[in-house]
Amino acid sequence: MEVRESDGTSFTDIIAPRRRRAPQPKPEAEKPAPLPVFFTVEGDGFVPGEDVAVAVITGHTDAAHTGTARALIDPAQLTTDRASGLVEVLLFGRVSGTTLVRRVP
C-alpha cells in the first residue's frame, strides 16, 4: 500500500495478510446412551402389603393390595447361566412365606 503524506513524501506500507484459520470441525453430536431394558417378574399368593424379597438380590418390593408382587430387574446387574442365557429370579413373601422362582431371558 502506498501512503502519501501532506508534505509530498510517500512511502510504501506493507501489510502482511493474516493467515486464515481452518474452520473448527463441528463436534459430532453425542449419541444418547441406550436405555436400559428391564424385565418384569410377577407372581400371586402374597399377603396384601407384605414385604416381598427379590433375589438375585437386587432389592425389595411390596405386594399390591391384590396380593400380587412386581419387581423390575436390570439385566446389567445379573449374571446369566452361560449355557441357557437365562436368569432365575426369586420372589419371597416375608409374611406369607410364598416363594416363587421365575426365569427371565
Those residues of the chain that have pLDDT short of 50 are none
46-59 residue pLDDT tens: 999 999 999 875 56
| Predicted local distance difference test score (pLDDT) of residue 82 | 54
End-to-end, the C-alpha distance of the chain in Å comes to 78
Please tell me whether residue 40 adopts helix, strand or coil conformation.
strand
Amino acid 100: pLDDT: 94
pLDDT of residue 56: 78
Q: E strands within the chain? A: 2-4, 10-12, 39-43, 51-55, 59-62, 69-73, 87-93, 99-104
Q: How many CB atoms lie within 10 A of CB 24?
A: 6
pTM, full prediction: 0.51
Predicted pLDDT at 79: 61
